[in-house]
Amino acid sequence: MAIIILLRHGENEWVKEHKLAGWIPGVHLNENGRKQAQDAADRLAHLPISTLYSSPVERCMETAEYVGKTLGLPITQLPEVGEVRYGDWEGEKIAELAKLPEWHVVQHVPSRHAFPAGESMRAVQVRIVDALEGLAQKHGDEMIVVCAHADLIKMAMAHYLGTHLDLFQRIVISPCSASVLMLGDKGLIRVLRINDHGPIPIPPKKKEEKDKS
């Protein structure tokens, strides 16, 4: 069974200013975000993590760098877990977007929304789930980390909880929180943690193997 730790990136000024950063370059972790990233790395340091993936977006890569340095792992960029393509909404303030009639659709029936010149929410959920399923097949019984974005993680967790996409906004994913999935063969799915900032225990099987060595 693959164990996938979904780690949201740390805080940046655009989060504080409530703007949609999307794939805009030059959005970096702020001082608090860098502290969050190091704290996350420290929480993961004791785990038998084999591989570290990240969205190519800078704020994710910067978060993953703290994890990679602490765990001694290289970062593999994975565009499939990159941020939502917000199209014409990218870079806009949420307060202004909230005035648009389409905002109600995004918040309450996102399965029917496509961002102008961007992606549909349904396509984004398919993208992240397909990526995680591929990683689960590739990594078998390993534990891996995937550094990604709030909406992507919320959509993934909604899928594996059996929750409709239209309800995914009920899930909270805070900066540098960890959400943990266990994906096995024959359709086995376990949601172990959501939006967690505490210590993550070593899975029993891995611990037993370590004790025997």
Tell me how far apart the alpha carbons of residues 130 and 72 are, in angstroms, rounded to a whole number: 27
- Strands 75-77 and 49-54 come out as parallel
CATH of residue 150: 3.40.50.1240
Q: What is the pLDDT of residue 208?
A: 42
Nearest to 24 by CA among 32, 36, 14: 14
Determine the Cα–Cα distance for residues 201 and 160; give it in Å rounded to an integer: 21
H or E element, residue 201: none
Describe the crossing of helices 31-44 and 58-71 by its angle, rounded to 10 degrees: 40
User: In sequence order, what are the beta bridge partners of 192?
Assistant: none
Question: What's the CA gap between 82 and 54, in Å, rounded?
Answer: 8
Domain count, the chain: 1
Count the Cβ atoms, other than its own, within 10 Å of residue 107: 12
Domain hosting 125: range is 2-212
- pLDDT of res. 205: 61
Give the pLDDT of the chain (213 residues) as one tens digit per residue.
899 999 999 999 887 788 899 999 999 999 999 999 999 999 999 999 999 999 999 999 999 999 999 999 999 999 999 999 999 999 999 999 999 999 999 999 999 999 999 999 999 999 999 999 999 999 999 999 999 999 999 999 999 999 999 999 999 999 999 999 999 988 899 999 999 999 888 877 644 444 444
